[in-house]
Amino acid sequence: MLQVELKDGSKVEVQKGASVLEIAKSLSEGLARNATCALVDGEVVDLRFTVEKDCKLEILTFDNSLEGKKAYWHTSSHIMAQAIKRLYPNVKLTIGPSINNGFYYDFDTDSTFSEEDFEKIEAEMKKIIKEDLEIKRFTLPRKEAIAFMKEKDEPYKVELIEELPEGEEISFYEQGDFVDLCAGPHLMSTGKVKIVKLLSSSGAYWRGNEKNKMLQRIYAISFPKQSQLDEYLAMLEEAKKRDHKKLGKELDLFMIAPEGPGFPFFLPKGMILRNVLEDFWRKVHRENGYEEIKTPMILNEELWHRSGHWDHYKDNMYTTKIDENDYALKPMNCPGGMLVYKRKMHSYRDLPIRSGELGLVHRHEKSGELNGLFRVRCFTQDDAHIFCLPEQIESEIVRLMKLINYVYGIFGFDYHVELSTRPEDSMGSDEQWELATNALRHALESQNMPYEVNEGDGAFYGPKIDFHLKDCIGRTWQCGTIQLDFQMPERFDLTYIGQDGEKHRPVMLHRVIFGSIERFIGIITEHYAGAFPTWLAPVQVEILPIADSHVEYAKQVQEQLEKLGIRTELDDRQEKIGYKIREAQLQKVPYMLVLGEKEIEAKTVGVRSREDGDIGAMSLQEFVEKVQKEVESFGK
Tell me which DSSP letter residue 299 carries: E
Model pLDDT, residue 635: 58
- For the chain, which domains are there? 2-61 (3.10.20.30), 73-240 (3.30.980.10), 250-527 (3.30.930.10), 541-635 (3.40.50.800)
CA distances from 535 to 144, 276, 413 (A): 65, 8, 16
For 320-363, the DSSP string reads EEETTEEEEE-S-SHHHHHHHHHTS--BGGGPSEEEEEEEEEE-
pTM (2 decimals)?
Answer: 0.83
- Strands 43-45 and 92-93, bridge-based pairing: unpaired
Instruction: For residue range 81-127, list pLDDT tens digits in order.
Output: 999 999 999 999 999 999 988 999 999 998 889 888 999 999 999 99
Paired residues of 568 in beta bridges = 541
Which residues, in sequence order, are CB contacts of 409 under 8 Å at separation 6+? Answer: none
Instruction: For residue range 279-301, list pLDDT tens digits in order.
Output: 999 999 999 999 999 999 999 99
Is the CB of residue 461 less than 8 Å from the CB of residue 428? yes
Instruction: For residue range 1-29, list pLDDT tens digits in order.
Output: 888 889 888 999 889 999 999 999 999 99
578 CB-contact burial (10 Å; exposed 0-12 / middle 13-18 / buried 19+): exposed
- Strands 568-570 and 541-545, bridge-based pairing: parallel
Which residues, in sequence order, are CB contacts of 595 under 8 Å at separation 6+? Answer: 543, 544, 545, 546, 550, 553, 554, 557, 605, 606
Mean pLDDT value of segment 207-212: 82
User: What is the pLDDT of the chain when averaged over all its residues?
Assistant: 92
Mean pLDDT value of segment 24-41: 93
Give the residue numbers annotated as catalytic, written as ranges. Answer: 334, 363, 381, 383, 385, 464, 510
CA distances from 449 to 91, 283, 561 (A): 47, 26, 44
Q: Please check the confidence at residue 425 and state whether its pLDDT lies above 80.
A: no
Q: How many residues does the chain have?
A: 636
More confident of the two residues 112 and 189: 189
Q: Please check the confidence at residue 431 and state whether its pLDDT lies above 60.
A: yes
318-327, 346-355, 432-441, 452-461 — which one is most confidently predicted on average? 346-355
For 588-623, the DSSP string reads T-SEEEEE-HHHHHHTEEEEEETTTEEEEEEEHHHH
CA dihedral 425, 428, 433, 436 (to 10 degrees): -120
Tell me which DSSP letter residue 460 carries: T
**3 state DSSP class of 318:** coil
For 104-119, the DSSP string reads EEEEE-SS---HHHHH
Model pLDDT, residue 307: 87
Of 338, 391, 327, the C-alpha closest to 362 is 327
| Percentage of residues of the chain with pLDDT beyond 90 | 78
Please name the amino acid found at residue 32.
A
Mean pLDDT value of segment 512-530: 95
Q: Please check the confidence at residue 42 and state whether its pLDDT lies above 70.
A: yes
Which residues, in sequence order, are CB contacts of 528 under 8 Å at separation 6+? Answer: 472
Angular region, 607: left φ>0, alpha ψ -120 to 50, beta rest: beta
Instruction: For residue range 621-635, list pLDDT tens digits in order.
Output: 999 999 999 998 875
Q: Please check the confidence at residue 240 and state whether its pLDDT lies above 80.
A: yes
Which residues, in sequence order, are CB contacts of 341 under 8 Å at separation 6+? Answer: 353, 355, 385, 387, 494, 506
Neighbours of 488 (CB within 10 A): 23
Mean pLDDT value of segment 514-519: 95
